[in-house]
Amino acid sequence: GQSLEQPSEVTAVEGAIVQINCTYQTSGFYGLSWYQQHDGGAPTFLSYNALDGLEETGRFSSFLSRSDSYGYLLLQELQMKDSASYFCAVSVDQTGANNLFFGTGTRLTVIP
Amino acid sequence: DAGVTQSPTHLIKTRGQQVTLRCSPKSGHDTVSWYQQALGQGPQFIFQYYEEEERQRGNFPDRFSGHQYPNYSSELNVNALLLGDSALYLCASSPQGFGANVLTFGAGSRLTVL
């Protein structure tokens, strides 16, 4: 079977830094993506890691360790608008990232 | 530039009925995938269409079928609806080649089966 594990809920203070971890066990692996979804909204792409290391995009960074089957999303300088659900997703097929296996999501609450 | 558009946004059906959901991909995207998202869960891959053919399929029964048109728009059909089919159905599009790793999702069609 395939599984992705991430914390169900995280609470952090505005202006702080938060890390959301994701461990995976899948039959294939071609990359790890992160998506953000606000209540009632569409998931939106944040980052994609195919190789080990850290990718930085503004306040968000994502890390991957293929040998540990582990990745994380780092959010810095938290803002109230960052309150949302965050999903890690694994590309399990080489033919394309469209076939994504998603985790159950981490609900981030940013408090003043 | 319109992103991915889906219709209808909400609908209510009864058990045993059939439903058709529609999706227009983002301009420049030719690959469409459908996902089912139950409340409090992550999206689950249903299938993917490219060049008007189903290219990949997730672990969903044959009651779930789809179609892609020459203009890349797509439909998801679900027959013999069950209560468990109640969910948010998301359409996602992407281009081939460069940018294929980035999915653009629509806001979804929320289906309630009574």
Predicted confidence (pLDDT) per residue in B26-65, tens digit? 999 999 999 999 999 999 999 999 999 998 898 999 999 9
- For residue A94, pLDDT beyond 80: no
- For residue B96, pLDDT beyond 90: no
Q: Maximum CA pair distance of chain B?
A: 43
Q: A-chain residues within 8 Å CB-CB of B35?
A: 102
Return the SS3 of A74: strand
Which of A44, A87, A93 minimises the CB distance to B42?
Answer: A87
| pLDDT recorded at residue A97 | 47
- For residue A95, pLDDT beyond 80: no
A75 and B CB contact within 8 Å: no
- Angle at the Cα of B62 (from B57 to B64), degrees rounded to 5? 75
Which of A40, A87, A93 minimises the CB distance to B56?
Answer: A93
> pLDDT-based confidence at A104, cuts 50/70/90?
very high
| pLDDT recorded at residue A28 | 82
Which residues are within 8 A (CB) of A58 and not within 5 positions of it... i.e. 6 or more apart?
A: none
CA-based nearest residue in chain B for residue A31:
B101
| pLDDT recorded at residue B18 | 98
Q: What whole-number distance in Å separates Cα of residue A2 and Cα of residue A69?
A: 12
